[in-house]
Amino acid sequence: MAGLPYIVGNWKMNGTRAMLNEARAIDRAAARFPKVQVGVAPPATLLYRVRDAVELIGVGGQDCHAKDSGAFTGDVSAPMLKDAGADFTIVGHSERREYHGESDADVKAKAEAALSAGLAVILCVGETESQRDAGDAEAVVGAQLEGSCPKADGAPEKLSVAYEPVWAIGTGRVPSIEDVAAMHASIRGKLVELYGEGGGEVRILYGGSVKAENAAELLAVPEVGGALVGGASLTAESFLAIVGAAASLGE
Ligand SMILES: O=C(CO)COP(=O)(O)O
DSSP 152-210: STTTTTTEEEEE--GGGTTTS----HHHHHHHHHHHHHHHHHHHGGGGGT-EEEEESS-
User: ipTM, 2 decimals?
Assistant: 0.99
Say whether 25 sits in a helix, a strand or coil: helix
Exposed/middle/buried for 56, CB within 10 Å: 0-12, 13-18, 19+?
Answer: middle
What pLDDT, on the 0 to 100 scale, is given for residue 247? Answer: 95
In angstroms, rounded to a whole number, what is the distance separating the alpha carbons of residues 126 and 203? Answer: 16
User: pLDDT tens for residues 106-146?
Assistant: 999 999 999 999 999 999 999 999 999 999 999 999 999 99
163 band by pLDDT with thresholds 50, 70 and 90: very high
Q: 230 labelled as ligand-binding?
A: yes
Tell whether the model's pLDDT for residue 1 goes beyond 70: no
Atom number in ligand 1 closest to CA 231: 9
User: pLDDT tens for residues 36-84?
Assistant: 999 999 999 999 999 999 999 999 999 999 999 999 999 999 999 999 9
Say whether 39 sits in a helix, a strand or coil: strand
Atom number in ligand 1 closest to CA 172: 10
User: Which residue lies with its CA nearest to atom 2 of ligand 1?
Assistant: 230
Q: Are 227 and 39 in contact (CB under 8 A)?
A: no
What pLDDT, on the 0 to 100 scale, is given for residue 2? Answer: 55
In angstroms, rounded to a whole number, what is the distance separating the alpha carbons of residues 194 and 209? Answer: 29
Q: Ligand 1: distance of its center to the CA of 105 in Å?
A: 23
In angstroms, rounded to a whole number, what is the distance separating the alpha carbons of residues 82 and 47? Answer: 10
What pLDDT, on the 0 to 100 scale, is given for residue 152? Answer: 87
User: Which residue lies with its CA nearest to atom 8 of ligand 1?
Assistant: 230
In angstroms, rounded to a whole number, what is the distance separating the alpha carbons of residues 237 and 68? Answer: 37
Mean pLDDT rounded to a whole number for the chain: 97
Q: Ligand 1: distance of its center to the CA of 170 in Å?
A: 6
User: pLDDT tens for residues 212-249?
Assistant: 999 999 999 999 999 999 999 999 999 999 999 999 98
pTM over 0.95: yes
Ligand 1-lining residues (CB < 6 angstroms): 10, 93, 164, 169-170, 207-210, 228-232
3 band by pLDDT with thresholds 50, 70 and 90: confident
What pLDDT, on the 0 to 100 scale, is given for residue 250? Answer: 74
What pLDDT, on the 0 to 100 scale, is given for residue 55? Answer: 97
Q: 11 labelled as ligand-binding?
A: yes
209 band by pLDDT with thresholds 50, 70 and 90: very high
22 band by pLDDT with thresholds 50, 70 and 90: very high
The predicted model gives 17-41 an average pLDDT of 97
List the domains of the chain with CATH numbers: 6-234 (3.20.20.70)
Which positions are annotated as active-site residues?
Answer: 93, 164
Q: 167 labelled as ligand-binding?
A: no
